[in-house]
Amino acid sequence: MIHYHGMAGAGTSRDWITLAKGRHCFVSYAACDKLPLFASVCSSFCLDNGAFTAWKQGKTFDMDGYLSFVSEWMHHPAFDWAVMPDVIDGSEEENDDWLNAWTLPKHLGVPVYHMHESLDRLERLINEYDYICIGSSGEYSQPNSKLWWKRMNEIMDVATDERGKPKTRMHGLRMLNPKVYTKLPIKSADSTNAERNGFFCEKFGYYPSPTRGQRAAVIADYIESDQSAAAWIRPEQLELSL
């Protein structure tokens, strides 16, 4: 699987080069000032639409601006794909309208399925796209909780076949936790764990690394030490450790 590390652009350029060099980066439209730096040293990068940040700040999502942004960067050799716009607290119809407003090549955009949405919408997205994002939302906003796993079991029943193999490629938003992604047959996942704890957490064991970038790199190495599951194993076949 591909481990994408969220990059918000805080810290020094030296720290960011240490973390991003040779890795896979996940860069938000809401914090993209350092993207030229990341793109110059990383193995590949994805673009997040930044809708969650806009929603938290009470701002209207800039669809035209995001499409222009993706259009500029989609020709970079390290570019993988971009998260298609979504409405955080919107209805399924509103989110479908945003998908229909995507004017760039379809294979470059990956739609978001929010876990509180109907399984019918999940099945439709699986049939229409060869890559989807799964986002924790609503009452399932906390990955790795018991309620979250109960819902994920329902989702995997739709998203995988009788052998537990995925019907389409899946990306786990905020799921780069080994306790999560090692149980799921996903193609990729992201989180800001390395950035957040490496750059801003002062407590780092008895022998802390000398720079924030090195601390973040240690965390990233730990996160990348495992891979996703080859297939979904249903609870009746193997009890999940929650």
pLDDT of residue 42: 96
pLDDT of residue 239: 53
Local confidence pLDDT in tens for the 242 residues of the chain: 999 999 876 667 888 788 899 999 999 999 899 999 999 999 999 999 998 787 778 888 899 999 999 999 999 999 999 999 998 778 999 999 999 999 999 999 999 999 999 999 999 999 999 999 999 999 999 999 999 999 999 999 999 999 999 999 999 999 999 999 999 999 999 998 887 776 655 555 544 566 777 778 878 888 898 999 999 998 765 555 44
Q: Residue written as tokens 């989180």?
A: 191
158, 175 Cβ separation under 8 angstroms? no
66, 31 Cβ separation under 8 angstroms? no
Domain parsing of the chain, residue ranges: 2-223
- The set of long-range contacts for 29-38, using a CB threshold of 8 Å and a minimum separation of 24, is 29/65, 29/66, 29/69, 30/54, 31/7, 32/69, 33/9, 34/7, 34/9, 35/73, 37/13, 38/7
Residues 6+ apart with CB under 8 A from 24: 2, 3, 4, 5, 42, 43, 44, 45, 46, 80, 188
Question: CA dist 242 to 85, 139, 220, Å?
Answer: 32, 17, 23
Supply 69's token pair: 């942004």
143, 177 Cβ separation under 8 angstroms? yes
CATH class of the region 2-223? alpha beta
